[in-house]
Structure 1
Amino acid sequence: MDYLHFFSPVRISRGQGHPAEEIDSVAEAMVFLRKWPTGRRGPVYRCALNCCSAALSGQMSAEEARKAFTGFARITRLLDDDMALPMAGENMASVYALRR
């Protein structure tokens, strides 16, 4: 099941006073998503859940599922600020556009 591990973990921050949580596999992302409140499960949630399910069944890569889960964390404002920094090959304009 090593192929289900993310290349780099997704850091979730629930705010000051709470430790950041690192999600480093599709299975951990699924556990996190299944605990998400039912009333807050919108289209971005469903996309992340579907992508993680597809990765678990071998229809999608773990990195594609990671991108969907990262998008969910960003939209819900759970993505740790350190994770919002651009990766190699990205420019700051794309990061600022995502934060708006």
Structure 2
Amino acid sequence: MPAMHFHVRWPDDSTSKCYSPSSTITEFLEAGKSYPLDEFVAVSRTALHKASDRVRMKYGYMCSSAMDQLAQIETTAERFRGVADARVVVESITS
């Protein structure tokens, strides 16, 4: 189960290197694509829960790192709530 990183650019041009314990992130996010803020958070939530579930199926426990990453995404996204047309760009996805 290859760990992946997805690099995102937030509405203020800051960047984050995000972690997924599974390649399932590529089923949900596309490199080079811009997402409305709320959609990015929702898609990341779904993807990271699925990735964590894959870890649970293989090892018998959820992936706390995936849940920590989701919390960081949600916290960062809160800074941009209320910003008109706030978008997040997935710059790359790497293994």
TM-score bin (small chain): 0.3 to 0.5
TM-score, with structure 2 as normaliser? 0.32
User: RCO greater where, 1 or 2, for CA within 8 Å and sep 6 or more?
Assistant: 2
TM-score (norm 1): 0.31
User: Which structure has more strand as a fraction of its residues?
Assistant: 2
